[in-house]
Amino acid sequence: MNVLDGADSIYRFVERTAERVPEGARWQTIDYENHPHYSYEAFNGCGGIGVFLADYGRRTGNASALDLAREANRWCSTVELAGPERGLLTGRTGAAMAWLRLAAATGESVSEHCAHNAEIIMREDPGPFTDLMGGAASNGLYLLRLHQAMDDSLYLDGAKRCAQWLCDQLVTDEDGSSCLCRPDGEFGDRPFFGVAHGISGVAHFLTLLHEATGEAEWAEASRAILLTLERHAVEDHGGLNWAPMLGDTELSRCQWSHGAPGIGIVFLKAAEVFQEPRYEEVAVKAGEATYAYGDFRSNITQCIGLSGCGELFLELYRDAQDELWLQRAQEFADLAMTYRVALPEGDAWPTDEPGLYSADFIYGASGLGHYFLRVIEPSAVSMPFM
């Protein structure tokens, strides 16, 4: 199937469902309880839609897509709604990352909204969450990306502050080195493994920070977490997978947020940064399990579905240029194409619940559209939130 046709269809869906308001462009997306809402979060709100629009506009030369990306980002950055300012997927930081993506796509200056969100992150305490979804790892990752875009050491210092707080939360015992998603225990009393809420996401940020600085303390902390993940990996479906939490025995997930797809990406990046072949072997085995699970959630989304799982295949292809992984990424894209729904008003793309459609990035169509763009240009289009 033509993957670009899928990206075009999703763009038309996103454009058709946009609502122009004084603050910019917004979408009514579907929340975690399957209710319609307006939100600036990237997780299941409007915060990541601008990422897809920016990269789609760059790829196709569609100026209207770039304009809509600006309006989407403007709404997310200025609308007055209750909710956290910090947090890559659960706060307004996702919209700030979308501004960075737009600047990279167009060559424009970085928006002032990026510095504004960074100031809030650096002014407040790093906690209470550790994770890559909305905690200190996510905020540190954003500050690192902002530093790389603007070459301003202020933001690198902010990223290091997040990393130091994370290292202070790590506990080493007979199970390895880990931290809770929320160290005060308000989000469970056992560590998660997955990249969304768990220690693999923390390790990923620390790996990236070591890559940027060369400072050994971040490498040591990341390697300790990676060793813990290796110890708790389980042979599954011809590869490796992880239970959602330390102490779980049931392998109930194989998706970007919990399980092999996201954790495999973490190990693959660590293999590159640390020049450690063993980590690459773990990533490949995670890829084998992910492929064997297939469309086990009957879902297209980045969080739990085909596009998030396929991201590991694309990263494995980018790493080794092995056509097998690109073929598998294409296969998952072809499966996702079958979920397109032809409504009287135009194409629509479902979220997790049949009959519900959403334009958001992590739990809706924009994330799949971005995955399609990555299948087309795996070496040119990177994952925006890792």
- Which range marks the domain in which residue 303 is found? 3-376
57 near 95, Cβ under 8 Å?
no
CATH code: domain of residue 100:
1.50.10.10
In a domain, 381, yes or no: no
The pLDDT assigned to 1 comes to 64
Residue 118 lies in a domain: yes
385 found inside a domain: no
Residue 193 is assigned to a structural domain of this protein: yes
**Is residue 386 included in any domain, yes or no?**
no
Is residue 84 domain-resident? yes
* Domain assignment present for 268: yes
> Angle between the 199-213 and 153-169 helix axes, to the nearest 10 degrees?
140
Question: Would you state the pLDDT for residue 158?
Answer: 99
Number of folded domains in the chain?
A: 1
Each residue's pLDDT tens digit in the chain (386 positions)? Answer: 689 999 999 999 999 999 999 999 999 999 989 999 999 999 999 999 999 999 999 999 999 999 999 999 999 999 999 999 999 999 999 999 999 999 999 999 999 999 999 999 999 999 999 999 999 999 999 999 999 999 999 999 999 999 999 999 999 999 999 999 999 999 999 999 999 999 999 999 999 999 999 999 999 999 999 999 999 999 999 999 999 999 998 999 999 999 999 999 999 999 999 999 999 999 999 999 999 999 999 999 999 999 999 999 999 999 999 999 999 999 999 999 999 999 999 999 999 888 999 999 999 999 999 999 999 999 999 999 99
Q: Which of 192, 205, 210 is nearest to 253 (CA)?
A: 192
Residue 55 lies in a domain: yes
Taken in order 308, 366, 300, 294, is the CA torsion positive or negative? negative
